[in-house]
Amino acid sequence: MPLTPSTRVGPYEIVSSLGAGGMGEVYRAHDSRLGRDVALKLLPAPFAGDPGRLARLEREARLVAGLNHPNIVVLHSIEEADGLRFITMELVEGETLDRHLPPGGLAIPRVVELGIALAEALAAAHEKGIVHRDLKPANVMITRDGRVKVLDFGLAKLESSVEAGDATQADTVAALSSAGQVIGTVPYMAPEQIRGEAAESRTDLFALGVLIHELTAGTRPFIGATAGVISSAILRDAPPPLTALRADAPPELQHIVARCLEKDPASRFANARDVAEALRRVRHAEGTAAIAAPVAPPGTGRTVAAPPPGPSIAVLPFANLSRDEDNEYFSDGLTEELMNVLGRIRGLRVAARTSSFHFKSKHPTIAEVGAALNVGAVLEGSVRKAGNRVRISVQLVKVADGYPLWSDTMERTLDDIFAVQDDVARAVVAALPGELLFSQPGLATGRGTRNRDAYDAYLEGRFYWNKRSEADARKAIEFFERALALDETFAEAWAGLADAYVTLPFYSLTPTDAAYVEARNAASKALALRPDYGPVIATLAYADMIDLRWPQAEEQYRRAIELAPEDANAHKWYADLLMMTGRSSAASRELRTALELDPLSANIWTIQGEWYWLEGRLDEAMANYRKALELMPTLPLALELATRLCWQRDQIADYFALRERLEAVSPRVAVPTATLREAHARGGRRAVLEAQLSAPVARLLPSDRARWHAELGDLDAAFRDLDDSLAQRELRLPYTTYFGDFATIRKDPRYQELLAKMGVARAQ
């Protein structure tokens, strides 16, 4: 039974829960005898009631308690009080390493420093005869001052041989650590662990190699949809070389990782101290210069160059310090508007909104943001809004050394909010290196409105639109319309309304043609007010593409990219058109550009997954979908495509698990997942397809019916469905040209006739 705050366990008073550890619940507790806080790990009843386990634990605890190393959490005691068995340990203030790992990996110097600290911790334990057996990011703490602390040596086994005369000890060790017993976390397990063989010190070196690979590339060397697939990869596959994933990965670091990941323990380093020394040689060879060049997120098979010459900046989401949490839209909106103001400054590169907002509430270091987003400076701040007054604190920090370039606190009325944004932008420009011509016509003052209430409604509209669900899109529409009722000349609000309508059919059953009438009208109003508004031109291009107006769409995309070359969304949508019209290589180039501009965009990762599926690279496609879902766990399109790929690969358990997640966020799921599970148990895949098709026609998209009919072997029905899709101008129809699970349909001669009706051939 969980312990609650103020509960007393012997001399300890429970302060709060810290979560679950390797062997039980962990609490923050106050030791009344010594006047200090400790971590108290409560042993589960089955463990506490097993004399053999307790005897072994006490022996290990004596050894672990003897470890006096700065990178290992200190174990204080094993105690019993009030009928409970528990361990007390050093309380570490900080976060686990997995919370510090940005997509694309850490800067190389930081990887090397962490690797040295981990290797030294393992060396200290191994020299005492203790093997960790479960080294992973969740078992490594980073303290508030950046130091490494390894946790949970309680899962270790005694590596030293048991003396022949100690029969009791021999029996205990055999029972708990014998061959055939698998202990650990699969992605970090060595081949011998997976085979159930006894672990030894070089088993930990394999896990260390996995961890260093992950810190460097942002992804583990062995990936898969299930534990079985990962285990098979660990036993069979060679890991991808770091130098192929990241251009600035030193060859010596690649050599260290490759040697740690040898399948045969005898081929690995002899001990952890040798690993530490090898990493020190890397540190020495690299010198003291910080290597901050970020890499493409894992799975792309490419690298991103070092930051280009000239100033670059990321604006992190401002913290909402207002008492009313509903004011979060205001702090988010202020951040986004500052991005827009700074983005209009010639010569200044501003990280995309999606990538910057990935760090919201995650408390990254400046170095981590700089490495992930490929920028030289970071602007962070907070907003406190009360009534008609707002207090804004901002700080501009240089990534290379972490020192502030400028900071200020401003307190104004809401009527002055536009002036505050311009003041911040001017101060940023003055603090950044190089000449940035801030005094350009219409640069600093044009927000499209001077009406504060209209602006406030617009910020709320953008706040909800960025949540990417049907309900939130409809709220966004309400707020954009409210802004326009107050100021019909507000171009940004018209643009927001166009974006909301053009994306609405993705998240709902709203007919495409009805939504696109509204989208075109709003986009046209925005362009009438701002003729060179690149992102709005991209929105119109997308509508033209879905309407099968291929030449017009392509011309509009090129125009949008010319006007706003750093608009990642325009590059992503243009990649859609290129794939639809059979130009896969050109599409790949646009996707690379989009990811370089916005490396933490879940939408772009999803589209790139589609490209990999089209190319038949299914593992990479799934890796991209999973990365998208790490960035945005509720993104409907990523969930849908991952679900469909699992179905195609006959990964039924994963299919149902993902579909349940999709069902929770998408109204397009017409048949409950529980019903499909029952159908599968009754009649396999065919019964699932038939159950899908039994839903009311109004709840099904024609393109979905087409692929289900095709899998059932009824291609006549499939092509009738596609004709319906064409008649309805369904948003999904153009995507049938490259979605992987339409391959069977595309092999039928009738599909070429459909392409002719769609006009695709004219664009090829």
Cβ pair 742, 648 in contact under 8 A: no
Residues labelled as active-site residues: 134
User: How many angstroms separate the CA atoms of 659 and 655, rounded?
Assistant: 6
Of 38, 20, 86, 13, the closest CA to residue 5 belongs to: 13
DSSP string, 109-137: HHHHHHHHHHHHHHHHHHTTTEE-S--SG
Sort strands 75-81 and 84-89 into parallel, antiparallel or unpaired. Answer: antiparallel
Query: DSSP label at 199?
Result: P
User: How many angstroms separate the CA atoms of 548 and 498, rounded?
Assistant: 19
The contacts of residue 585 (CB under 8 Å, 6+ apart) are none
The contacts of residue 546 (CB under 8 Å, 6+ apart) are 512, 516, 729, 731, 734
CA contacts within 13 A on the Cβ side of 609: 25
- CB atoms under 10 Å from CB of 1, counted, come to 6
CA contacts within 13 A on the Cβ side of 281: 12
The contacts of residue 589 (CB under 8 Å, 6+ apart) are none
Residue position matching structure tokens 């408390």: 363
Any long-range contacts for 746-752 (C-beta under 8 Å, 24+ apart)? 748/715, 748/719, 750/715, 750/719
Residue position matching structure tokens 């009360």: 386
User: How many angstroms separate the CA atoms of 658 and 744, rounded?
Assistant: 24
Q: At what angle do helices 673-693 and 702-711 cross, to 10 degrees?
A: 80
Q: What share of the chain is helix, strand, coil (3-state, %, to 5)?
A: 55, 10, 35
User: How many angstroms separate the CA atoms of 299 and 597, rounded?
Assistant: 17
Dihedral (CA of 753, 757, 758, 759) sign? positive
